[in-house]
Amino acid sequence: MTDELPELRASDTDRERVAERLREAVAEGRLDMEEFQERLDATYKARTYGELEPVTRDLPDPAGPGPAPARASGSGAWAERIGGAGTSAGGVAIMSGFSRKGMWTVPRRFNCFALCGGGEVDLREAKFEAPEVVVNCVAIMGGVDVIVPPGVEVVVRGIGVMGGFDERLGDEPPEPGAPRVIVTGFAFWGGVCVKRKISRSEKRRLKEEKDRRKGLEK
């Protein structure tokens, strides 16, 4: 990254390098989880070096060379999360709400409907019936949030009429062996928001690493 060429386009490798530094900063106690998530979102949305540079401007360089921390996910981990029968076929919210989150199995097609209400489809800790699943969302004067974990490939094909489908995914490349999630459907005077966040288990891992480092410093 360079101050002389702030408009130079950043690569996926550049973004991932910054994301890794943010993960280290959380483990070191320099960032809390809210700051980490905000900066991670900004990292994956950044197009140029000039947009990436402020993300870690107030963080020191890593202490020294060494292997990068192991990531929680990967081809082996994904293989363990694909297969088995779906545990929920859909969700309905009519002037109310629904939520599918935690440990559940996403079927090949999950249908959800929100009318003057809201729904949440959280895939961060879910398993997947097949390597490709479809989340079909219909939102009429209501909204649906679809939350996916890092590494998953996401395709958004929804149609909005006086409403829309909002993508907050960044440019993170899919991981080998990760499932493909297709978000489709229809939004009328409503909205479907598709966003990427780290899982609760990853948050716990970062917190445990942070506590471990604090213990070593005492």
- Name which of 20-24, 94-98, 104-108, 151-155 the model is least confident about: 20-24
Is residue 28 situated within a structural domain? yes
Is residue 3 situated within a structural domain? no
Shared domain for 108 and 87, answered yes or no, is yes
Residue 200 or 94, more confident: 94
Residue 41 CB partners (closer than 8 Å, separation 6+):
168, 170
Is residue 2 situated within a structural domain? no
Shared domain for 86 and 183, answered yes or no, is yes
Shared domain for 90 and 58, answered yes or no, is no
Q: Position of tokens 């994301």? A: 19
Is residue 5 situated within a structural domain? no
The answer to whether residue 1 scores a pLDDT higher than 70 is no
pLDDT at 61: 67
Domain count, the chain: 2
Cα angle: 132, vertex 206, 47; to 5 degrees: 60
Shared domain for 207 and 164, answered yes or no, is no
Shared domain for 190 and 101, answered yes or no, is yes
Shared domain for 97 and 161, answered yes or no, is yes
Is residue 135 situated within a structural domain? yes
pLDDT digits (tens, 9 = 90+) for 10-40: 887 778 788 888 878 877 778 888 888 888 8
Confidence of residue 79 (pLDDT cuts 50, 70, 90): confident
Shared domain for 86 and 190, answered yes or no, is yes
Is residue 4 situated within a structural domain? no
Instruction: Kindly state the tokens that stand for 79.
Output: 């293989």
Range of the domain at 86: 76-196
Shared domain for 168 and 204, answered yes or no, is no
- Name which of 52-61, 82-91, 99-108, 185-194 the model is least confident about: 52-61
Shared domain for 63 and 142, answered yes or no, is no
Is residue 110 situated within a structural domain? yes
Is residue 6 situated within a structural domain? no
The answer to whether residue 73 scores a pLDDT higher than 70 is no
Shared domain for 98 and 172, answered yes or no, is yes
- Spatial distance between the Cα atoms of 164 and 185, rounded to a whole number of angstroms: 10
Taking a C-beta distance cutoff of 8 angstroms, is the pair 23, 206 a contact? yes
How far is CA 127 from each of CA 32, 53, 89, 104, 131, rounded to the nearest angstrom? 28, 36, 14, 6, 10
Shared domain for 175 and 204, answered yes or no, is no
Taking a C-beta distance cutoff of 8 angstroms, is the pair 178, 152 a contact? yes
pLDDT digits (tens, 9 = 90+) for 114-173: 999 999 999 999 999 999 999 999 999 999 999 999 889 999 989 999 989 998 887 778
pTM > 0.75? no
- Spatial distance between the Cα atoms of 7 and 37, rounded to a whole number of angstroms: 24
Shared domain for 149 and 120, answered yes or no, is yes
